[in-house]
Amino acid sequence: MTEGAGAVRNILLTVQFDGTDFVGWQMQPGQRSVQGVLAQAVEGMVQHPVTLYGSSRTDSGVHARALPVNFETPRTIPLHGFLRGLNAVLPSDLGVLSVEERPVGWRTRFESVAKTYVYRYQLGDARWPLYSRTAWHCRWPALDLDAMNDAAEAMLGEHDFNAFRSSRCVSKSSLRHMHAIRVAELSETRGKAPVVELEVTGNAFLHNMVRIIAGTMAEVGRGKLRRANVERALESGERSHAGPTAPPCGLTLWKVYFEGYPRLGKPRVSTQAPKAVDGPSDAG
- List domains and CATH numbers for the chain: 5-111 (3.30.70.580), 114-257 (3.30.70.660)
CA 101 from centre of chain: 22
CA-CA-CA-CA torsion sign (202, 208, 212, 215):
positive
The string of DSSP letters for 96-130 reads: EEEEEEE-TT--HHHH--EEEEEEEEE-SSS--GG
Model pTM? 0.90
Below-70 pLDDT ranges, the chain: 1-5, 189-193, 265-284
Give the pLDDT confidence score for residue 3 in this predicted structure: 57
Chain segment 154-176, per-residue pLDDT in tens: 999 999 999 999 999 999 999 99
pLDDT of residue 57: 87
Give pLDDT, residue 284: 29
User: Cα(66)–Cα(83) distance, rounded to whole angstroms?
Assistant: 15
* pLDDT given at position 25: 96
Which are the catalytic amino acids? 59
Cα–Cα nearest to 202, from 213, 217, 187, 216: 213
Hey, is 225 helix, strand or coil? coil
- Residue 216, H or E segment: helix 209-221
Which pLDDT score, from 0 to 100, does residue 190 have?
A: 66
